[in-house]
Structure 1
């Protein structure tokens, strides 16, 4: 990837969801990848239902698509480095086989993101100083492992986890080695968490090596917050959507990335129920927004 080169992808989460595998279960890999081609994207991220590397590579080659990366749930605080590193080696080996760019890591110790009855707006977990140290040191080591496979570790701040807010992201960036631990910037998660996305982008642009463009339906976010819904309930209600269908101004974000010579993937990601939000229809909404609002921007 050249300096300043941006690749556009769309995540499989609009078709099938790893947290609730039964939704969208009828959408096959061929269906997903072919929809991505129809919508004009260059690639995707690996979903939990994806096949072994050899099978996936054939399907990608047939459609001239690439893999950006894949989510990894780390439990460094709960399980320690040795056990986590063993699983992460396997994760990275697969990603290298499918020619991915990044390994997306999110610490899931105490996470409530998959719990149906936990209020995601009020019951997020917090880490002790000792847990912060364990996590930070562990991530530095996982970052080095990723590099053995020609990958970058990008940390995914996420609603319902111990690293969700700007203050928590600041602390993580201060505590980890910038040579080995990079950041995934997710517009939707930081907006729902803090009501602001540009501060994080500007503050940590030098650490950002992967981007998720996720939009938010502010009226539905308000409903979910008032009702004290869980993360799963909130996205099933329709809190998240694709760019061009919500409140976030991606022109501001994209202009900033261009000025900073950002190089890497921008992946459209919106957790939605595919029975309600037609995946291809929403992929095309996102593509139209990108073409009409973003790609003509010159910095």
Structure 2
């Protein structure tokens, strides 16, 4: 068995946040550039960006020697029972497509308390006990259904400007949920955004680390953002920086997670909304070279 994690990338690292947007890179060029940058694994990205016909998607991936690691859905279970149908409608589309081409994971991102389009506050920044209970029960239900219906594992992604971002909030979610149905997509940048120590979380909850997003933040600019209450959507392209310019260091994290399970994915996911489409290829190539240069516990396949 290999001792290194499988390193991949995602549409987000090419600035893709939406199924369609005039400033985003065309999906076929994205796939070409992923191959050129030296990756073999990708995520689906926003549903509808890549082809949604499983046969077409499989063909497009195969001719570039690419494979799919995961899809992504968005949830708001803390808001109430009506959120179940919204989540499951997404899951049927995304998990159905992802599983059809071999993916075994679903990255689940909670709704933000602040709009990612306007920056306005949509609700309170923190949850009360009843909302936490709804959140946890909703994710356990989703994780169970994903596993039983599609053989796909739920990996929860804590996020800036969401209700689950700090160490205390992440740990509380773990305490309230069933490890059979929810583990973490530990996004190293988003966790560090609120001061989280990635290595400590890995060491204290090794059984709950199911997936990685590799990302670095500018540790000083982060405090400008937090102190001045700048929306993440407005700061993402500046606070999330090209490795190795930021924190945390990737090598120790990759090695700690590889010791838990070398089959875990480590997907480079640098937030670059609205970026010039000619920039990502160089950044993605250099990031891959940095990762393979800073640890021997990384592999392409």
- Place the TM-score, normalised by the shorter chain, in its bin: 0.7 to 0.9
Question: Distance in 2 between the 1:7 and 1:113 partners?
Answer: 33
Residues 33 and 19 of structure 1: CA distance in aligned 2, closer, same or farther (over 3 Å): closer
Superposition deviation, residue 83 in structure 1: 4.5
With over 3 angstroms needed to count, the CA separation of the structure-2 counterparts of 1:83 and 1:34, relative to structure 1, is: closer
Query: Structure 2: which 5+ residue stretches go unaligned?
Result: none
Determine the C-alpha separation between the residues in 1 that align with 2:278 and 2:211.
25
Q: Output the CA distance in 2 between the equivalents of 1:77 and 1:195.
A: 23
Please say which of residues 38-47 and 151-160 is displaced more in the overlay: 38-47
**Alignment-derived partner of residue 14 in structure 2:** 15
Q: 1:103 aligns with which of 101, 106, 112?
A: 106
Cross-structure match for 1:133? 133
1:114 correspondence with 2:116: yes
- Structure 1: 5+ residue runs without aligned partners? none
Give me the whole-angstrom Cα distance separating, in 1, the residues matched to 2:278 and 2:32.
18
Take 1:113 and 1:68, find their aligned partners in 2: how far apart are those partners?
A: 28
User: Contact 2:3 / 2:258 at 8 angstroms: preserved in 1?
Assistant: yes
Do the aligned partners of 2:4 and 2:296 also contact (CA within 8 Å) in 1?
no
**Distance (whole Å) between structure 2 residues aligned to residue 94 and residue 296 of structure 1:** 30
Q: Distance in 1 between matches of 2:29 and 2:277?
A: 17
TM-score (norm. length: structure 2): 0.87
In the aligned structure 2, how far is the partner of 1:23 from the partner of 1:191? 31
Are the equivalent residues in 2 in contact too, given 1:16–1:23 (CA < 8 A)? no
Task: Write the distance in 2 (CA, Å) between the matches of 1:3 and 1:81.
Answer: 39
- The within-5 A match list for 1:190-269 is 190-236=191-237, 238-269=238-269
CA gap 1:124/1:16 in 2 versus in 1, 3 angstroms? farther
- Structural RMSD (CA): 2.5
Deviation at 1:225, TM superposition (A): 3.3
Q: Hey, what does 1:271 align to over in structure 2?
A: 271
Verify the 8 A CA contact 1:15 1:24 in the aligned structure 2: no
- Partners of 1:181 and 1:170 lie apart in 2 by 12
Paired residues, number? 291
Mapped to 1, the partners of 2:11 and 2:164 lie a distance apart of 23
Higher relative contact order (CA 8 A, sep 6+): 2
Moved over 3 A (4+): 2-5, 19-24
Distance 1:229 1:82, change over 3 A: closer
The answer as to whether partners of 1:116 and 1:231 remain within 8 angstroms in 2 is no
**Counterpart position of 2:33:** 35
Distance 1:288 1:3 in 2: 19
Q: Is the 8 A contact 1:185 1:212 kept in 2?
A: yes
- The answer to whether the aligner puts 1:161 opposite 2:162 as a matched pair is yes
Question: For the structure 1 residues 67 and 113, does the alpha-carbon distance in structure 2 shift closer, same or farther, using more than 3 Å as the test?
Answer: farther
1:245 shift after superposition: 3.0
The C-alpha deviation readout for 1:46-67, integer Å capped at 9, x for no partner, is 1221221222211101011011
TM superposition shift of 1:35: 1.1
Residue by residue over 1:36-91, the C-alpha shift from the partner in whole angstroms, topping out at 9 and shown as x without a partner, is 11111111111221221222211101011011112201122332434433432333
2-structure distance, mates of 1:153, 1:289:
29
Q: Which residue number in structure 1 is paired with residue 290 of structure 2?
A: 289
Change (3 A) 1:80 1:232: closer
C-alpha deviation, 1:118, in angstroms = 4.3
